[in-house]
Structure 1
């Protein structure tokens, strides 16, 4: 039987890295551990410096705590760890994802070392300066969509997109998606629809930001789109997911009364937040196209709601008397000839009446 999460956190508290931190010695002869940044069900994160490199650059060391209750499960965890580390290494080639610098196991413990991104999370920004405007939220989406698209093209579902996991770099102001401890590599486990074939063994993510299928251990690419939508609501309202009511019939988030945004963004967010993944955008590319469409909506509306009118008087009446019909040039010409003949006939009749030739 696997040990409960608390026992792993106790083990992390007594781990080798803590001993090096308390003794002020270099961990693995290179890392100077400065402080603990955070702790969760999957591990503990530390801020450190690489003392062997010029300038002793900062880095983040994440100690993972796999729930392995036997030697066999521990070996499986090691295989999974190496596979996940390779995926993180590939993802780290993107400028909006921290680069993986090292990964290793020591004394039965698992460690990832990544670039440290100095800056504020979006959650910290909102707490400091208040909620964002609609224009700022649209800009956020345009900035974050490329990195989510990159992740999905590498067949990875992040599963924990939320304001605390998005940092605005203080150096160049770019948005960086962090905390890939929740990422799972599905290179062989995702089917053509983006769903996991075999159910996962445990929930990964944050309740409220995670959609229903993720809570049911069936995450898909659309799960990240839902999390992006909830993140937008947080940025617009400064409200956490638990502060929104849900429609008891559909399970949809009831948010329209909390903030006023344009009809177009309302439509986009509603689709991002659909409880059923099949009703959301099929991909972030589709979401991106929907956002790019807004500047052209007025012109497109004019194209869809207007009809070219014939240039002749009363030309909206076709040959059979029907109205509001577009006529081809030949039909218009035939109609004009018929009208001319009718007018000439009427003119001749009037002339006859005036001369007394007609009764």
Structure 2
């Protein structure tokens, strides 16, 4: 099957041998390179498609993200476009085996496109929903495997701002964990983002994984909080937004929902501290402590 990119097409599905959409006449090959196979999702500002990159020696799957807003409010459209452009910039800037590879970015017929590697894998959230909560041993290993890529993006002054079990994939071909979706990320090396705040009380991130300092300057410890909340979900299958807080200290009372070893408890406690300065300030520091105390 091939799929039409035209958002107004009445019948976007086409037979595999079709070169132009039978419903609207649009080409089914983008940029004379990407054959569109199916739609992965659609939102208010665009859609994502699975495609094959025919330029590669061995054609490979990729994700085509199309910026095509339905919203006509100029301010909202510009903010969404800025996020889209930022994601393209960050994928070009960040190179790591546990991140999707940047493929291309261009404008075509009044639409903007970002092309990136398609990761064959399973989001951790889906794995937990299908197979149940992970063991403490598995979560320790997850931290060991994932923290290097988090340290990498922080070393490049990038804060992801939306770490959660849906944005960490277990890649099928090599069992590596891959961090995806940089649409909300902040690049603190850029002058206009070095003092970035989520102005106008805009909620940034996923409920339950957002740190208490949401709306203020993002820092590496903000991602570390989200990763701590992810660990809680993996261990319990319970959304962290359901955790109650201490009425005096505002600390999350997460220990009332599960029991873990003292070593992991201390690490998660420090990841989930309410006050940002009391958390780990570096992903590498967590790696260091894991190597010292965790025995798998």
Equivalent residue, structure 2, for 1:211: 211
Preserved contact between residue 203 and residue 217 of structure 1 (Cα < 8 Å): no
Preserved contact between residue 42 and residue 48 of structure 2 (Cα < 8 Å): yes
Preserved contact between residue 65 and residue 115 of structure 2 (Cα < 8 Å): yes
The SS at the match of 2:260 is coil
Equivalent residue, structure 2, for 1:111: 113
Q: How many Å apart are 1:217 and its aligned residue?
A: 4.3
Equivalent residue, structure 2, for 1:154: 156
Distance in 2 between residues matched to 1:292 and 1:266, nearest whole Å: 15
Q: How many Å apart are 1:52 and its aligned residue?
A: 4.0
Structure in which a larger fraction of residues adopt helix? 1
Structure in which a larger fraction of residues adopt strand? 2
The question of 1:139 aligning with 2:154 is answered no
The SS at the match of 2:213 is helix
Counterparts of residues 76-87 of structure 1 (less than 5 Å) = 82=85, 84-87=87-90
| Structure of greater relative contact order (alpha carbons < 8 Å, 6+ residues apart) | 2
Correspondence for 2:39 among 36, 39, 43: 36
Counterparts of residues 317-332 of structure 1 (less than 5 Å) = none
Preserved contact between residue 84 and residue 183 of structure 2 (Cα < 8 Å): no
Distance in 2 between residues matched to 1:133 and 1:78, nearest whole Å: 41
- 5+ residue gaps, structure 2: 14-20, 23-27
Correspondence for 1:199 among 193, 197, 201: 197
The question of 1:182 aligning with 2:180 is answered no
- 5+ residue gaps, structure 1: 1-13, 297-359
Equivalent residue, structure 2, for 1:48: 51
1:262–1:190 Cα change, 3 Å: farther
Preserved contact between residue 84 and residue 184 of structure 1 (Cα < 8 Å): no
Distance in 2 between residues matched to 1:209 and 1:77, nearest whole Å: 22
Equivalent residue, structure 2, for 1:168: 170
Preserved contact between residue 208 and residue 242 of structure 2 (Cα < 8 Å): no
1:231–1:18 Cα change, 3 Å: farther
Q: How many Å apart are 1:237 and its aligned residue?
A: 0.4
Preserved contact between residue 221 and residue 276 of structure 2 (Cα < 8 Å): yes
Q: How many Å apart are 1:222 and its aligned residue?
A: 0.8
Give TM-score scaled by structure 2 length. 0.82
The SS at the match of 1:249 is coil
Preserved contact between residue 35 and residue 48 of structure 1 (Cα < 8 Å): yes
Equivalent residue, structure 2, for 1:309: none
Equivalent residue, structure 2, for 1:244: 243
Count, aligned residues: 275
1:256–1:180 Cα change, 3 Å: same
Moved more, 110-119 or 282-291: 282-291
